[in-house]
Amino acid sequence: MCTAVTYRTHDHYFGRNLDLPSSYQETVTITPRNFPLPFRRAGLRRKHYAIIGVALVDRGYPLYYDATNEKGLSIAGLNFPGNADFKPEAPDMDNIAPYELIPWLLGQCTSLDQVKVLLRRLNLIRLPFSERLPLTPLHWMISDRDGSMTLESVQEGLRVYDNPVGVLTNNPPFDFQMHHLTNFLNLTRESPTNRFSPELHLEPYSLGMGALGLPGDLSSASRFVRAAFTKLNSVSGASESESISQCFHILGSVAQYRGCARAGDDGFEHTLYTSCCNTDRGLYYYTTYENSQITCVDLHRERLDSDQLVVYPMLKGQRIYLQNGCVPQR
């Protein structure tokens, strides 16, 4: 499963964990403004906003998992098995395949208001990218500087929710996740006082007891609550370094460690990468499961008027700073 979050200090940040048993060869991919973007049922778009994010490039097409455009609009796709339902083509609608949604919206929109206009005509269709990469059940968090929304194509149709938390995980559907927060309305960052019974003398024995009851497991419902609590109580300085550090810590609170959640015969769910994009400046930061050093790719260092994709492999090996010249064995 996955988690996406936004974080705001001086600048705006959009990040996600990608949790899977194994990777697909994803890369940090920049789609410049003149890269021709073919849409299977919605024509060819020759000019669009530039996009940076993580994608699998297949047959020359950027299959984005999460991305931000040069105007700071961001989208992440997360697994939504059993609930995502894509539709047959419909006349007078923008018929968009799920894998096309990110380039479709980020190519044309600068804000959530513009996205909302396009969503009125959007029909997410049951059209796979290829035989090797079939349809996968996704839902999306879409964010700009001022807010977030959740997009779910379910049996009843397209559901668009305001997302005042700025967090998305996986199942169940988003209206459940929001309502579920009610169960935790009593949690607090402050030290609690005894409300259990005036007949007993009960005192906290540790800091952090105001959040006793915050779910610690890796289920998507629990990760939603935990990421929300961590994010909404986050305090950090506004510098770039302090901001991204805090954003990585929020995502770290819901990261998955290999071995704790079995994923079928394929192995164990683990956080393949964590990203945090400064959406105001087009800086895409990431770490991987075995590389805790933060790596950054800058959208604005590329030739954004080009027509060629730019692809950076994710740096995956652990990088250890040898402070006194030590030589780790093996």
Ligand X SMILES: C[C@H](CCC(=O)NCCS(=O)(=O)O)[C@H]1CC[C@H]2[C@@H]3CC[C@@H]4C[C@H](O)CC[C@]4(C)[C@H]3C[C@H](O)[C@]12C
Q: Among the options 2, 247, 276, 277, which is catalytic?
A: 2
Cβ closest to ligand X, residue 56 vs residue 297: 56
Closest approach of ligand X to the CB of residue 170, in Å: 5
Contact 55/65 with Cβ under 8 angstroms? yes
How far apart are the C-alpha atoms of 298 and 4, rounded to whole Å? 20
How far apart are the C-alpha atoms of 254 and 273, rounded to whole Å? 12
Cβ closest to ligand X, residue 55 vs residue 112: 55
* φ, ψ at 259 (rounded to 5°): 120, -20
How far apart are the C-alpha atoms of 214 and 306, rounded to whole Å? 48
How far apart are the C-alpha atoms of 65 and 14, rounded to whole Å? 13
Backbone dihedral region for residue 25 (phi beyond 0: left; psi -120 to 50: alpha; all else: beta)? left
Position closest to ligand X via CB: 79
How far apart are the C-alpha atoms of 178 and 42, rounded to whole Å? 34
Cβ closest to ligand X, residue 72 vs residue 103: 103
Cβ closest to ligand X, residue 6 vs residue 220: 220
CA distances, 74 to each of 51, 61, 155, 216, 294 (Å): 9, 19, 25, 28, 20
Closest approach of ligand X to the CB of residue 232, in Å: 23
Closest approach of ligand X to the CB of residue 139, in Å: 10
How far apart are the C-alpha atoms of 52 and 281, rounded to whole Å? 11
Closest approach of ligand X to the CB of residue 137, in Å: 8
- The residue ranges that bind ligand X (CB under 6 A) are 1-2, 18-20, 24, 56, 63, 65, 77-79, 81, 98-99, 128-129, 133, 135-136, 170, 263, 269
Place of tokens 């021709």: 36
Closest approach of ligand X to the CB of residue 189, in Å: 29
Active site residue 326: no
Contact 168/139 with Cβ under 8 angstroms? yes
Cβ closest to ligand X, residue 48 vs residue 243: 48
Would you name the residues annotated as active-site residues? 2
